[in-house]
């Protein structure tokens, strides 16, 4: 018989797997693969979650987050949600650069994109969208957060996570460590089309009252919009907004 914490862990992985495929939905097989579960186990848990309103199922058999998750999230928003504070920064970034701007939060060993603000440039990158998750060290938000963690914590993360099988040889440890050093020198991270060729990103960390990087602001766009001569300008814009947002979040969360 499974211990309660094992069941909870499986349910948590499954809910995260479903959330990553909003709003299109996910099949039972896809959810099981993403959550590292056997398909029968995933189906049994999804049906149980459906009875509780935590997931829903379309007529085509796709699983989606259910209405109860919205109610639970709304109840917790007053304590955890700072995305409304990021709106001003995102709007300024998208207006001044023309690129799409994003606000992401750290959740354990991952980042999750919370808010998107599209810029005026007509060709956009669609790598990021609300709800998508990446491990730390992947995409500019995850890279800049990992770079600004205490070095011992960042090293422990890399000890425990081999990102190359899922994201390719550009995410071998030595290459990630090289990008972390560059990020620390510059203050901002650059993702030169490492997830989707031709789709670049840059990110700056947003810090809590303890000086820990818990969020990130980022910009994405097509490669020629992130040419070498323009990157310092974009980086400085990100750093200014990240510094301002860090201060506003710290004031908002102060007792």
CATH code (residue 128)? 3.30.450.40
Within 10 angstroms of residue 222's Cβ, the number of other Cβ atoms is: 15
pLDDT, residue 126, reads: 65
pLDDT digits (tens, 9 = 90+) for 54-74: 999 998 889 998 888 877 766
pLDDT in tens, 134-186: 999 999 999 999 999 999 999 999 999 999 999 999 999 999 999 999 999 99
For residues 169 and 241, membership in a common domain is answered with yes
Of the chain, the percentage scoring pLDDT greater than 70 comes to 94
DSSP one-letter string for 12-27: HHHHHHHHTTTTT-B-
Round to whole Å and give the CA distance between 167 and 9. Answer: 24
pLDDT at residue number 113: 92
* Residues 185 and 244 grouped into a single domain: yes
Q: Dihedral angle at the C-alpha atoms of 127, 132, 133, 134, nearest 10 degrees?
A: 0
Q: Which of 72, 92, 124 is the last residue of a domain?
A: 72
What pLDDT sits at residue 149? 96
Return the sign of the alpha-carbon dihedral for residues 131, 135, 137, 138: negative
Domain that holds residue 46: 4-72
Q: Which of 28, 43, 72 is at the close of a domain?
A: 72
Looking at the fold, whether 39 and 154 belong to one and the same domain comes out as no
The values of phi and psi at residue 206, to 5°, are -115, 130
Q: Torsions phi, psi of 173, nearest 5?
A: -55, -45
Largest CA distance in the chain: 60
64 and 115 assigned to the same domain:
no
CA 39 to chain centre: 26
**Which residues lie below 8 Å from residue 127, measured CB to CB, with a gap of 6+?**
139, 195, 196, 199, 201, 220
Residues 16 and 39 in one domain: yes
Tally of domains within the chain:
2
As a whole number of angstroms, the distance between CA 109 and CA 150 comes to 14
Q: Is the peptide bond before 23 cis (omega within 30 degrees of 0)?
A: yes
Task: Say yes or no: 53 and 127 in one domain.
Answer: no
Average pLDDT score, the chain:
90
- Beta partners for 105? 112, 215
Question: Quick one: average pLDDT of 17-21?
Answer: 83
**Whether residues 93 and 44 fall in one domain:** no
Q: Is the pLDDT at 121 greater than 90, yes or no?
A: no
Choose one of 20, 38, 72: the last residue of a domain: 72
Q: Does residue 255 register a pLDDT over 80?
A: no
Q: What is the CA radius of gyration of the chain?
A: 19
Q: In this structure, are strands 199-207 and 189-192 parallel, antiparallel, or unpaired?
A: antiparallel
Same domain, 53 and 113: no
Do 106 and 61 sit in the same domain of this protein? Answer: no
């Amino acid at each position: 018989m499974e211990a309660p914490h094992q069941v909870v862990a499986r349910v948590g992985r499954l809910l995260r797997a479903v959330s990553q495929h909003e709003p299109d939905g996910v099949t039972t097989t896809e959810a099981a693969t993403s959550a590292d579960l056997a398909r029968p186990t995933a189906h049994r848990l999804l049906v149980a979650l459906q009875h509780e309103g935590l997931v829903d199922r379309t007529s085509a058999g796709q699983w989606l987050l259910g209405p109860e998750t919205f109610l639970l999230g709304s109840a917790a928003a007053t304590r955890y949600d700072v995305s409304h504070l990021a709106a001003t920064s995102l709007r300024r970034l998208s207006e001044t650069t023309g690129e799409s701007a994003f606000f992401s939060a750290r959740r354990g060993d991952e980042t999750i994109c919370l808010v998107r603000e599209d810029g005026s440039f007509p060709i956009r990158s669609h790598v990021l969208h609300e709800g998508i998750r990446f491990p730390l060290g992947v995409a500019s938000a995850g890279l800049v957060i990992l770079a600004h963690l205490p070095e011992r914590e960042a090293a422990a993360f890399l000890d425990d996570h081999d990102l190359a099988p899922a994201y390719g040889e550009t995410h071998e440890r030595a290459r990630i460590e090289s990008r972390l050093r560059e990020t620390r020198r510059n203050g901002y991270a650059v993702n030169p089309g490492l997830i989707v060729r031709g789709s670049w990103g840059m990110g700056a960390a947003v810090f809590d009252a303890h000086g820990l990087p818990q969020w990130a602001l980022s910009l994405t766009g097509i490669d020629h919009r992130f040419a070498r001569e323009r990157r310092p300008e974009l980086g400085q814009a990100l750093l200014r907004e990240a510094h301002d947002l860090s201060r506003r979040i710290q004031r908002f969360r102060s007792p």
